[in-house]
């Protein structure tokens, strides 16, 4: 017998309609690409999103067509997302930090028909446009007066593109399983792979993200997503923010400590989210200037492991609660969030910090398990570590065009490529990406744990650990360190600092100092490049 409740399809544009009706004058503030800070609100965004849908419809864009965006977090970018989705087309985020060849590959693989882009990327678009034969129109997210003089065919300014369209244009009607968004993983191995979100998965994921023990979003919040919309959906904030009626503060192209701090303060931001490298810069800026952030309540850190020293600085020095989160493009992207369960809330702060360093627990809608090489599930005891697999309504079941099928098993589990432990209370700790793990004498060493402790040394700005060949142990850890400006430290200082904090056999066999550690387009340490660079490195312990 079927239930007798209404069939109300979970469609993404219903979120902006809800926000327009119930939180219509709630502000959406943007630091624009043109420079000034511009104020809009949900009512205006919903109207302009319908104009985008109408403009695309006039152009002949149809259900299922891919429309790319290569843009910063701005109100126009949000309008474009909702407008594209409301027509039943698919917004496809392109990460401008990728190499031009990769962007060309991705845009052609997706068969993008239109490309919305910010003027910041005009040179890049000019360079790649001749290699994008499927793109019929290039829309620069600006007005006619600011349209860059670039040699781009079929170029139009966004404001011209939507001029004369109907702000009450009707959304298209379709099933909630219809594709809505497309985002490629950076593809550190092989070609980038497309993750194709549906309307239903995006709406469910936004509900999951907003929950009290996830990001705890409320109408009273002012949220600044530093994490770009072109990286894993800005962690759902463009959906979950309007869903709850929170104010949005969008940083546009300026992501340096000074600019972010200015917006956090003047717009009285209560909640923000970004990867650790961004927070490293902000904390250094706060330290240098002596500024504080009195309105800020919560900061979500994810994308890479948040080191203890960073969590401690936010919580102890600035009184800001850290929510450590883990996820990935394939999970829309949120997987776990490190909010406190009752027994942890009752602990004293130092012990709570131990838990905050873990990547968190799964909200309803995310199933997780860890498995060994034989695929058998391992115990949730906080000690056994194995490959982390996940299932859920906002988890990919395949990649676009059937690539990378080996990551999905017959029972519907997706292999995250991460290695983790899960404790009895459900807190999960990432120990490594499977391809970065060091196997020494048959035992696994967690590179992430060593890195996190090393950055607690007062002179260390950033640290990376890689495995280097060793005649007796197969591989041993090499610690690569970037010192803070003007600081000095020796190999012995660093190893001395680690002593007693990690198992003896995890102790790196050597420390090298470098000026810079390379990062990927999504802010992660590029271990593959480091392994290539130090591939022939001879450890002092390898001599015997």
According to the binding rule CB under 6 A, does residue 440 interact with ligand ADP?
Answer: no
The yes-or-no answer on residue 421 being catalytic is no
Determine the interface stretch with ligand ADP among 34-42, 135-143, 411-419, 456-464 (rule: CB under 6 A): 411-419
For ligand ADP, the closer CB: 202 or 359? 359
Q: Which of 520, 525, 530, 534 binds ligand ADP (CB under 6 A)?
A: 520
Q: Which of 30, 40, 93, 185 binds ligand ADP (CB under 6 A)?
A: 185
Determine the interface stretch with ligand ADP among 32-40, 202-210, 322-330, 531-539 (rule: CB under 6 A): 322-330
Residue 133 CB coordination number (10 Å): 8
Helix, strand or coil for residue 76?
Answer: helix
The yes-or-no answer on residue 185 being catalytic is yes
Determine the interface stretch with ligand ADP among 110-118, 122-130, 155-163, 517-525 (rule: CB under 6 A): 517-525
Q: How many residues bind ligand ADP (CB under 6 A)?
A: 23
The vertex-343 CA angle with 337 and 344, nearest 5°, equals 50
**Nearest approach, Cβ of residue 392 and ligand ADP (Å):** 15
Outline where DSSP puts E strands in 372-498.
386-391, 414-422, 428-433, 438-440, 443-445, 460-470, 474-483
Q: Which of 305, 311, 320, 445 binds ligand ADP (CB under 6 A)?
A: 305
According to the binding rule CB under 6 A, does residue 419 interact with ligand ADP?
Answer: no
The yes-or-no answer on residue 74 being catalytic is no
116 close to 141: Cβ distance less than 8 angstroms? yes
The pair of three-digit structure tokens given for residue 238, joined into one six-digit string? 């463009």
Q: Which of 30, 198, 339, 416 binds ligand ADP (CB under 6 A)?
A: 416
For ligand ADP, the closer CB: 430 or 479? 430
For ligand ADP, the closer CB: 86 or 302? 302
The pair of three-digit structure tokens given for residue 381, joined into one six-digit string? 């005891």
Outline where DSSP puts E strands in 105-243.
112-117, 137-140, 155-157, 179-184, 194-198, 222-225
The yes-or-no answer on residue 165 being catalytic is no
Q: Give dist(CA 114, CA 111) in Å, integer.
A: 9
According to the binding rule CB under 6 A, does residue 329 interact with ligand ADP?
Answer: yes
Rg value, the chain, Cα = 23
Phi, psi of 166 (to 5 degrees): -95, 120
**Nearest approach, Cβ of residue 189 and ligand ADP (Å):** 10
Q: x/- site string to ligand ADP, residues 188 to 227, per CB under 6 A?
A: ----------------------------------------
**Nearest approach, Cβ of residue 521 and ligand ADP (Å):** 7
**Nearest approach, Cβ of residue 329 and ligand ADP (Å):** 4
**Nearest approach, Cβ of residue 46 and ligand ADP (Å):** 29
Indicate the burial class of 276 (C-beta count within 10 angstroms; 0-12, 13-18, 19 or more): buried
According to the binding rule CB under 6 A, does residue 186 interact with ligand ADP?
Answer: yes
* 251, 37, 78, 363: CA torsion to nearest 10: 40
According to the binding rule CB under 6 A, does residue 452 interact with ligand ADP?
Answer: no
Determine the interface stretch with ligand ADP among 117-125, 242-250, 326-334, 451-459 (rule: CB under 6 A): 326-334
Q: Give dist(CA 429, CA 56) in Å, integer.
A: 44
According to the binding rule CB under 6 A, does residue 522 interact with ligand ADP?
Answer: yes
According to the binding rule CB under 6 A, does residue 304 interact with ligand ADP?
Answer: yes
Helix, strand or coil for residue 480?
Answer: strand
The vertex-454 CA angle with 450 and 460, nearest 5°, equals 150
Q: Give dist(CA 311, CA 289) in Å, integer.
A: 20
Q: x/- site string to ligand ADP, residues 355 to 384, per CB under 6 A?
A: ----x-------------------------
83 close to 30: Cβ distance less than 8 angstroms? no
Q: Which of 83, 88, 194, 303 binds ligand ADP (CB under 6 A)?
A: 303
According to the binding rule CB under 6 A, does residue 524 interact with ligand ADP?
Answer: yes
Name residue 361's beta-bridge partners: 337
Determine the interface stretch with ligand ADP among 8-16, 221-229, 319-327, 344-352 (rule: CB under 6 A): 319-327
95 close to 522: Cβ distance less than 8 angstroms? yes
Can you state the angle between helices 237-244 and 13-22, rounded to 10 degrees?
30
Tell me the torsion sign for CA atoms 454, 362, 279, 275: positive
**Nearest approach, Cβ of residue 240 and ligand ADP (Å):** 17
Determine the interface stretch with ligand ADP among 256-264, 344-352, 477-485, 518-526 (rule: CB under 6 A): 518-526
Nearest alpha-carbon partner for 207 in 241, 180, 171 = 241
Active-site residue set: 185, 330, 439, 444
List interacting residues with ligand ADP (CB under 6 A): 185-186, 232, 302-305, 324-329, 333, 359, 416-418, 430, 433, 520, 522, 524
């Amino acid at each position: 017998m079927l239930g007798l409740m209404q069939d109300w399809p979970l469609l993404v544009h219903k979120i902006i309609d809800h926000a327009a009706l119930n939180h219509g004058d709630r502000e959406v503030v943007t630091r624009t690409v043109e420079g000034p800070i511009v104020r809009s609100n949900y009512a205006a965004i919903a109207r302009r999103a319908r104009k985008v849908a109408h403009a695309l419809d006039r152009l002949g864009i149809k259900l299922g067509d891919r429309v790319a965006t290569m843009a910063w977090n701005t109100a126009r970018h949000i309008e474009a997302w909702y407008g594209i989705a409301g027509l039943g087309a698919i917004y496809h985020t392109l990460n401008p930090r990728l190499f031009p060849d990769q962007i060309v590959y991705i845009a052609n693989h997706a068969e993008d028909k239109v490309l919305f882009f910010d003027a910041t990327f005009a040179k890049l678009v000019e360079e790649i446009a001749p290699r994008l034969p499927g793109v019929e129109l290039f829309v620069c997210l600006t007005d006619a007066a600011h349209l860059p003089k670039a040699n781009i065919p079929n170029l139009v300014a966004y404001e011209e593109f939507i001029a004369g369209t109907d702000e009450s244009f009707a959304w298209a009607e379709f099933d909630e399983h219809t594709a809505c968004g497309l985002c490629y993983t950076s593809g550190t191995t092989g070609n980038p792979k497309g993750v194709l979100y549906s309307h239903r998965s995006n709406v469910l994921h936004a509900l999951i993200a907003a929950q009290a023990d996830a990001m705890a979003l409320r109408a009273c919040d002012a949220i600044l997503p530093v994490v770009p919309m072109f990286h894993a959906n800005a962690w759902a904030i463009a959906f979950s923010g309007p869903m709850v009626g929170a104010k949005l503060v969008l940083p546009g192209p300026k992501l340096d400590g000074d600019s972010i701090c200015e917006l956090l303060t003047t717009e009285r931001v209560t909640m923000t989210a970004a990867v650790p490298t961004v927070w490293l810069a902000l904390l250094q800026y706060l330290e240098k200037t002596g500024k504080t952030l009195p309105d800020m309540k919560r900061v979500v850190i994810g994308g890479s492991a948040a080191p203890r020293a960073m969590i401690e600085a936010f919580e102890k020095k600035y009184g800001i609660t850290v929510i450590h989160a883990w996820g990935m493009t394939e999970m829309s992207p949120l997987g776990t969030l490190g909010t406190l369960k009752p027994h942890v809330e009752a602990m004293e702060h130092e012990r709570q910090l131990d838990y905050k360093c873990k990547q968190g627990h799964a909200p309803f809608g995310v199933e997780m398990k860890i498995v060994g090489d034989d695929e058998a599930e391992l115990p949730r005891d906080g000690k056994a570590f194995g490959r982390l697999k996940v299932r859920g309504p906002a988890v990919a079941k395949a990649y676009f065009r059937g690539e990378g099928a080996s990551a999905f098993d017959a029972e519907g589990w997706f292999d995250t490529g991460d290695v983790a432990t899960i404790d009895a209370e459900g807190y999960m700790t990432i120990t490594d990406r499977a391809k970065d793990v060091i196997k020494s004498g048959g035992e696994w060493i967690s590179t992430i744990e060593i890195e996190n402790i090393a950055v607690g040394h007062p002179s260390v700005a950033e640290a990376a650990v890689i495995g280097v060949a060793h005649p007796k142990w197969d591989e041993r850890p090499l610690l690569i360190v970037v010192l803070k400006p003007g600081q000095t430290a020796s190999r012995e200082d660093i190893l001395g600092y680690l002593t007693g904090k990690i198992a003896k056999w995890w102790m790196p066999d050597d420390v090298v100092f470098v000026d810079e550690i390379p990062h990927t387009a999504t802010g992660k340490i590029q271990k593959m490049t480091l392994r290539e660079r130090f591939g022939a490195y001879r450890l002092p312990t390898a001599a015997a």
